[in-house]
Amino acid sequence: MSNNIPVLPGFIQNHDSGQQTLRLWCRWCCTWHEHGYTGTPVGQTTDRVAHCGAPDSTYQGTGYDILVSGTPFSAVANTMRKATPAQQRAIREGRITPTVQQLRDQEPPVG
Ligand SMILES: [Zn+2]
């Protein structure tokens, strides 16, 4: 683990298909990133490249280490206010409105 790589909690999402993915809150996109889950045990980290829609995202350059949480995604999904599709478009275009900034300033979920 290198010093400059952020460690973020990731939450396992169980899909109806039986598939599992790892979801993490992105404070830049103000949405939940979704990554493939390959069975990393709870409490351990797995590194990923960030596919971030926000041009000013620092995750883009570094990627991140995802600390797998024992809390299921379903328990945290509704605790964060996500950007609307229109806001997500604005973020992708680099327009950070005061409302978007408020979304970015939300306290991140704890693993
Ligand atoms: Zn992002």
Summarised one tens digit per residue, pLDDT across range 43-74 is: 999 999 998 999 999 998 899 999 999 999 99
Strand order in the sheet with 31-36: 31-36, 20-26, 7-14, 64-68, 45-48
Q: From residue 22, give the alpha-carbon distance in Å to each of 2, 46, 57, 99, 105.
A: 21, 10, 19, 27, 22
Cα of 55 to ligand 1 centre, how many Å? 9
CA of 67 to the centre of ligand 1 (A): 17
> Where are the chain's structural domains?
7-104
pLDDT in tens, 65-111: 999 999 999 999 999 999 999 999 999 999 999 999 999 999 999 98
The pLDDT value given to residue 51: 86
Instruction: Report the separation in Å between the CA atom of 41 and the middle of ligand 1, taken as the mean of its atom positions.
Output: 24
Grade residue 3 by pLDDT with cuts at 50, 70 and 90. Answer: low
Does residue 10 surpass a pLDDT of 80? Answer: yes
DSSP 42-82: TT-EEEE------TT-SHHHH-EEEEE-SS-HHHHGGGS-P
For ligand 1, the distance from its centroid to the CA atom of residue 31, given in whole angstroms, is: 7
**Segment among 1-5, 28-32, 62-66, 96-100 with least mean pLDDT:** 1-5
